[in-house]
Structure 1
């Protein structure tokens, strides 16, 4: 145990779109780390929140016709609920647009000003004459002044990856109206980042965490370190002290959210936030590798300049690929956490396991449904699940529970080795190695049970069989305690089958070597179910369909303007149909199996409208459907057509007058 108060944070999800697999690459390992440390007796607080400011949110809100606050709230709630569904348990999940963060950000900026680290300077900035406004950040795009690649206003996202200051981009164009922008003078405020060069070099040499974060940041600081513009011309954000026309740059107020969220947590729990940010607490940031620059250079310099403590460790994850392709929402290579996974009835535990065990935390993670299925079935079901169920089944069948026998030295030694390996791996941020050590213990248990064959031994030497079962149950207890940070739901169910009535999370990892109390056990059930081929095929088709649609958008320029020819329209067989019956699809929260009358022909259609209509609501209803859509299997059910609906709440397209089923739409 460290004996210090520990604070763990995750990079803040941006409230401009839904949660996907790339997000979970950071949050699941952080949750695993926190759960493990707590189970080792550490005093850990787990903090996160949503990032609500910046131009992308303003642009999206304008496109939707809502306020930036409304958009931010919608996605804040989405992330909050999604994390809970994934068993990611933050102690507090705040918003950077809440009053606490406005207050803390302005307080820290004032401290930087008072300490002489902020100055005003008039700079040339992009201005759109047509829109009549200055163009901050992502309102502008153009050419990177360093490498010549196409770039957005704040970063060369398609070329060298450099951070760009306001006014640096060449050939600026307004992203709103497409007009060329002109350069106009405007006053902004700069943070004297250049003065922290030597401090940062010394600080980074001692920074704990993953080497990719430390080495990347050291390279940048050694190469160059320019002063940093910390204001933007926006209405949405934290107002810069003393100015009504400028807000603080989002990469200032977003990380300050770590502090304000800690304050909010401390207020509701009666704790002191300064223990962590101004005392002897150790702060660990879990982030994606794309934001190392901000967390290892900007952030510690801001904290030092304002008189706060600095992070102890930065743990940066590798990026994500989908089917060996670069993760890309626009190209369809994305797996949405809810739509593509949780809403399909798949367990959070399986995905948590995959994210932690597939590769080293700093390496690139390649996701494919086929590999996901193979690993879930081979490792979770056949190795861990098989051992736990067999051991508990034999204990219940032959001894009615835990035999009154102490576990043997060999089994206890195997458990002890596993505990040591897991502890070293977790504290070294090698989460894959930690999971592998746990699964090696499960494999050892399987081999031990297979070699000793207690189902045979009990017929000739009941005492020897009792020893085998006692050893197996002790390994099962150790595995349950160790696997809880990886798969909390399954561990809870296994713990109950071990005859325990409380929560497994309430017990220390070290109890893995404490013998179980002799006595009865409930009849066990298998912990895990295999992922069948037909189910995985549906998931694979969802992904491939998205990729195909993205490719079609790329190759059909007319879709950008929404224009199609009359010939294109004529290829669609749109008809009126009447719903004959409807029922929920077992295992899915979104899908209904619907039978429609299409004018003397009955069709089966699978439709994702279960969240908005009950089966009883639909029977007898006239709907509009595409009748010549290529058949597809969804959740293992053949769907021959598509019922049309509008908007986020799936408002069905219904004829105003009664029309015979089968009538064509013209």
Structure 2
């Protein structure tokens, strides 16, 4: 089976913060798990380099959109590498291969029955003397009256058209707007309601927020959306008479999942249609605010394309992450930047926290105190303790040679249960429960060690001591595989120490195996660091 895992494409207009990492990390867990299962994995993403957010940042810094997006793209790549994101292809929307794919995809759509030309009103600021993109329009949401931008209301999640915004004003100067006429291409989403509703009804296993958001969009009535705009920065429209326009960002960035997949398919020598056919499983991993783009927009584009390509299977949509009890705000500098936390802390500690305490089913909060506490009690005190005291004991007292023993029936049962439970929960997007199940086996291993008391039986009953250590080594070996999707850095050390395979199956370390030098997996983080980090945050 072919497994496509699409991670949301972050805007290349500013540094990534911990909210991005919390939302995207489940994609890497999925990719590592399915590879261990022997499946053909296509884990793809990239930097979203076009669009108004990039041009706004470029204007603020006196640089070109290309310079800004390329700088942040490089930063994203470095952060993802530091945190162990194992993308098969991480690219950018300015990549020539993506742009060519999008233009070819659009050409096919334009010949179908779901695209039509319409005359529209474009927002124009008489003071600034310029046409405004939707994101540069501010006002009140037509649905609930909350402050909003012209592209999407953050309060209710509604995807908007700028000319529907109440009391519309220019975000740069605050002037009231006038509207000029222009011809644009529209995607007739309203004609796809039957297919989109069937997609929703056929996937009761989607996250609750995805089901609720998508159902609301359908029930409130789908609106047709412009797929071209009068812009300077973007992908050219492949249609005569549209030389002064670009493809609207929402109609090209989500196609990045397809364009990157096409590149990988070509490299691997398989047909693109095979990956987007029946013998495949597709995951899309993103934050709550991106739900409509993956359950409405992306399926609409695929359906309008008309080539019977596979629609999304599983929507892994997180809730929101707050920071020390407050909403993350980049404008107010209330954020922990991914590049900073990645540079200062063990990547597995970061990964562990954002799975164990991630916003999977509800909003969760990041606090430095809890971050430190979880590292010290759960990673160091639980998992690291089991590994260190077992293997170091063997090195110290048994010349590093794994002793003879027999795998206890209960131990084997616990291991088999863990493999099955963790695998099933990862596959269905229940990552926190999966990690909890893995740590059930960690706790079981520590109980076995304590009950066996090898520090006593080493002299009193060497055979019992040997059997305890043998069983603990087998538990550690299996846990190194079970925890690889979550904690790849520390797991890879154990795999090397014990000469294990990378397959999702029971691992065995034979009696007589010579252990190498063992090092500590996790360092204790002094509690004062939590206070220092909190002070830094408040001083930003």
Q: Classify the TM-score, shorter chain.
A: over 0.9
Specify the alignment match of 1:519 in structure 2: 513
Contact 2:22 2:358 in 1 (8 A): no
| Residues 426-451 of structure 1: per-residue CA shift (max 9 Å, x gap) | 12211111111111111111111112
- Is the contact made by 1:494 and 1:527 (CA closer than 8 Å) also made in structure 2? no
Residue 215 of structure 2 is aligned to residue 214 of structure 1: no
Write the distance in 2 (CA, Å) between the matches of 1:282 and 1:519: 40
Distance in structure 2 (CA, Å) of the matches to 1:44 and 1:343: 29
Instruction: Check if 1:337 corresponds to 2:338.
Output: yes
Kept in 2: contact 1:141–1:151 (CA 8 A):
yes
Shift of 1:398: 3.1
How far the C-alpha of 1:108 sits from its partner, in A, is 2.1
| 13, 17, 21: which one aligns with 1:20 | 17
Deviation digits for residues 621-655 of structure 1 (CA, Å, limit 9, x no counterpart): xxxxxxxxxxxxxxxxxxxxxxxxxxxxxxxxxxx
Q: Please, which moves more after superposition, 105-114 or 347-356?
A: 105-114
The alpha-carbon deviation at position 535 of structure 1 amounts to 2.3
How many residue pairs get matched?
A: 534
Do the aligned partners of residues 431 and 294 (structure 1) sit closer, same or farther apart at CA in structure 2, a change above 3 Å counting?
same
2:183 match: 187
1:278, CA displacement in angstroms? 4.9
| Per-residue deviation, 1:375 | 0.9
> Does 2:89 align with 1:92?
yes
Deviations 1:381-408 (A, max 9, x none): 0011111111112222333321132322
The answer (yes or no) to whether the contact 1:166–1:229 under 8 Å persists in 2 is no
Larger mean Cα displacement after TM superposition, 485-494 or 286-295? 485-494
Conserved? CA contact 2:382–2:443, under 8 Å? yes
Distance 1:162 1:39 in 2: 39
* Partner Cα separation in structure 2 for residue 40 and residue 278 of structure 1: 20
Output aligned runs, 1:70-149, within 5 Å. 70-149=67-146
Paired with 1:36 and 1:297, the residues of 2 have a C-alpha distance of 28
Aligned residue number for residue 300 of structure 2:
301
Which stretch shifts more, 217-226 or 46-55? 217-226
Q: What aligned pairs does 1:129-528 form with structure 2 within 5 A after superposition? A: 129-157=126-154, 159-207=155-203, 208-242=205-239, 243-278=242-277, 280-306=279-305, 307=307, 308-339=309-340, 341-344=341-344, 346-359=345-358, 361-400=360-399, 401-498=401-498, 500=499, 507-512=502-507, 514-528=508-522
Distance 2:358 2:310 in 1: 33
Q: Normalization by structure 1: what TM-score? A: 0.77
Q: SS where residue 404 of structure 1 aligns?
A: coil
* SS class of match (1:245): coil
Matched residues in 2 for 1:464 and 1:156: separation?
65
Contact 1:425 1:434 in 2 (8 A): yes
For residues 138-196 of structure 1, the C-alpha deviation after alignment (integer angstroms, 9 at most, x for no partner) is: 22212222322222111223x43321113222332222343322122222221110011
SS at match of 2:286: strand
For residue 515 of structure 1, report the CA deviation from its aligned partner: 4.4
Q: Which residue of 2 aligns with 1:647?
A: none
Does the residue aligned with 1:121 lie in a helix, a strand or coil?
Answer: strand
Partner Cα distance (2:277, 2:475) in 1: 43
SS in 2 for 1:520: coil
- 212 and 142 in structure 1: CA distance in 2 versus 1, 3 angstrom threshold: closer
CA offset digits 1:531-576 (Å, max 9, x no partner): 1022222212111212xxxxxxxxxxxxxxxxxxxxxxxxxxxxxx
Q: How does 1:571-610 map to 2 (within 5 A)?
A: none
Distance, in Å, in 2 between the alignment partners of 1:399 and 1:287 is 49
Check conservation: 1:27, 1:88, Cα contact below 8 A.
no
Distance 1:253 1:55 in 2: 14
Name the Cα RMSD after superposition: 1.7
SS at match of 1:508: coil
Which of residues 512, 524, 540 in structure 2 aligns to 1:530? 524
The structure whose residues are more often helix, as a share, is 2
2:51/2:249 contact within 8 Å kept: yes
Q: Is the 8 A contact 1:392 1:497 kept in 2?
A: no
Partner Cα separation in structure 2 for residue 98 and residue 42 of structure 1 = 28
Greater RCO, CA 8 A, separation 6+ = 2
Segment of structure 1 superposing worse, 190-199 or 394-403: 394-403
Shift in CA distance, 160/218, structure 1 to aligned 2, threshold 3 Å: closer
Higher mean C-alpha deviation, range 15-24 or range 112-121: 112-121
Tell me how far apart the structure 2 counterparts of residues 323 and 235 of structure 1 sit (CA, whole Å): 40
Tell me, in whole angstroms, the C-alpha distance in 1 between the residues paired with 2:472 and 2:486.
21
Unaligned runs of 5+ in 2: none
What CA distance in whole angstroms lies between the structure 2 residues aligned with 1:16 and 1:168? Answer: 26
Partner-residue secondary structure (3-state), 1:510: coil
**SS at structure 2 position matched to 1:49:** strand
Equivalent-residue separation in structure 1 for 2:516 and 2:243 (angstroms): 67
Give the whole-Å Cα distance in 2 for the aligned partners of 1:146 and 1:210: 24
CA deviation profile, 1:357-380 (whole Å, cap 9, x unmatched)? 115623222100001111111100
Shift of 1:330: 2.5
Contact 2:227 2:248 in 1 (8 A): yes
Q: Distance in 1 between matches of 2:182 and 2:269?
A: 45
Answer with 1 or 2: which has the greater Rg: 1
TM-score in terms of structure 2 length = 0.95
Distance 1:248 1:384 in 2: 50
Superposed displacement of residue 64, structure 1: 1.8
1:209 and 1:423 map into 2 onto residues whose CA distance is 18
1:406–1:515 Cα contact (<8 Å) kept = no
Tell me how far apart the structure 1 counterparts of residues 529 and 485 of structure 2 sit (CA, whole Å): 27
Q: Is the 8 A contact 1:204 1:217 kept in 2?
A: yes
Q: In terms of mean alpha carbon deviation, does 458-467 or 6-15 score higher?
A: 458-467
